[in-house]
């Protein structure tokens, strides 16, 4: 199976230890050893937000804050690739077009590990672009929520959790919720629209339970399928 995993940086950085990175890298390597072809994009996480807060106090504009976010993804992606070891191929920072050429060259030969690339796009969007490039069977969003709800479940106890949902309704939910750290952030809007266009299934799982990443591949997860 051709798999793209968009991994929240917070899964790696909330416990910034080698053991935590290895715990997640072991999950990815176990899928690789089963013959799956894998691309992992890693977000910026809590480290990103700390740097952005300081830069904003210094007067950095949105583009500069975005650049800091991109660099944060590469701190995480680089460390994650090193935790995986020889089976990993790290796509270092460069324009997205060039990154895609590199992914195309090495896909299937190694576990591709990537971050963010162009200002104005997110690692979720990059994951969608890589999914299109690789003709992926599935995109897994491993994050810190356990699926898609009709509303923010932290604010609305009556919010309904979906086992399955169509892209049209999913995109409507994204649009009505603030897509900011700490809010009910599901997936990048442009990334979701691209996955809808190319018809690639997206599965959102609670990556804090590492086994859910494997469960998503095997179709027995507790998250939400978007198709």
Per DSSP, helices labelled H in the chain are 9-13, 18-33, 45-57, 62-84, 96-106, 123-134, 167-176, 189-198, 211-218
The candidate with the shortest Cα–Cα distance to 224, out of 149, 159, 169, is 149
Domain ranges of the chain: 2-226
At 184 the pLDDT is 58
Backbone angles phi, psi at 225, to 5 degrees: -100, 130
- Region of 11 please: left (phi>0), alpha (psi -120 to 50) or beta: alpha
Residues 6+ apart with CB under 8 A from 222: 146, 147, 205, 206, 212, 215
Sheet order of strands, 88-90 included: 88-90, 111-114, 37-42, 2-7, 138-143, 201-206, 224-226, 164-165
CB 185 within 8 A of CB 144: no
At 154 the pLDDT is 81
At 151 the pLDDT is 85
Q: Which residues of the chain have pLDDT under 70?
A: 178-184
C-alpha torsion sign, points 125, 90, 210, 12: negative
pLDDT in tens, 60-112: 999 999 999 999 999 999 999 999 999 999 999 999 999 999 999 999 999 99
At 179 the pLDDT is 63
Name the residue with tokens 């799982």.
Answer: 205
- Domain covering 2-226 in this structure, CATH number: 3.40.1160.10
3 state SS of 82: helix
Residues 6+ apart with CB under 8 A from 75: 47
Tokens of residue 205, six digits: 């799982």
């Amino acid at each position: 199976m051709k798999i793209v995993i968009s991994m929240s940086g917070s899964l790696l950085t909330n416990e910034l230890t080698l053991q935590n990175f290895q715990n997640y890298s072991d999950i990815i390597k176990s899928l690789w050893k089963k013959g799956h072809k894998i691309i992992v994009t890693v977000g910026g996480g809590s480290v990103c937000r700390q740097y952005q807060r300081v830069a904003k106090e210094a007067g950095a504009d949105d583009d500069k804050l975005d650049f800091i976010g991109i660099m944060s993804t590469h701190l995480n992606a680089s460390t994650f690739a090193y935790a995986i070891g020889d089976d990993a191929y790290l796509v270092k920072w460069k324009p997205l077009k060039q990154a895609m050429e590199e992914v195309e060259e090495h896909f299937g030969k190694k576990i591709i590990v990537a971050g963010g690339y162009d200002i104005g796009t997110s690692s979720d969007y990059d994951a969608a672009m890589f999914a299109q490039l690789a003709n992926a069977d599935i995109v897994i969003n491993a994050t810190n929520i356990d699926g898609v709800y009709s509303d923010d479940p932290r604010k609305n106890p009556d919010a309904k959790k979906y086992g399955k949902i169509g892209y049209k309704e999913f995109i409507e939910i994204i649009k009505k919720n603030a897509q900011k750290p700490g809010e009910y952030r599901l997936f990048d809007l442009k990334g979701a629209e691209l996955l809808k266009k190319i018809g690639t299934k997206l599965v959102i799982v609670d990556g804090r339970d590492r086994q859910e990443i494997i469960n998503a591949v095997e179709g027995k997860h507790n998250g939400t399928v978007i198709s």
